[in-house]
Amino acid sequence: MLFMVRMDVHVPHELDPAKFDALKAIEKARAEDLQRSGKWRHLWRIAGQYANVSVFDVADAAELHDLMIGLPLFPYMTTEVTALCRHPSAISAD
């Protein structure tokens, strides 16, 4: 199943910058692994915001949930999840 997910990161002002930098490095590595596996199909930054829009290709909503709560920055995110299906007028399979 395909899901579009908007992720907005809200960093608490009191969070230690070194801890936040470490979390970002772990998050980046995890995102790269998930992209290589094909689970995280697209990752787009929203210009001017600490946010992204992503497309995930997972078995079901439960797999997406498990994947998302495993992200190091998840505790600092608000998310919006939308299930997707192919449009009959789409000319591309991707």
What is the band of 92 on the pLDDT scale with cuts at 50, 70, 90? confident
Indicate the helix (H) or strand (E) that contains 4.
strand 2-9
93 within domain boundaries: no
90 within domain boundaries: no
% of the chain beyond a pLDDT of 90: 96
SS (H, E, C) 17-52: HHHHHHHHHHHHHHHHHHHHHCCEEEEEECCCCCEE
Tokens of 14: 């009191």
Tokens of 55: 């497309």
75 within domain boundaries: yes
Domain of 68: which CATH number?
3.30.70.1060
Q: Compute φ and ψ for 31, nearest 5 degrees.
A: -60, -40
17 within domain boundaries: yes
94 within domain boundaries: no
- In the predicted model, what is the mean pLDDT of residues 9-28? 95
Domain total of the chain: 1
The boundaries of the domain holding residue 9 are 2-84
29 within domain boundaries: yes
pLDDT score of 93 more than 80? no
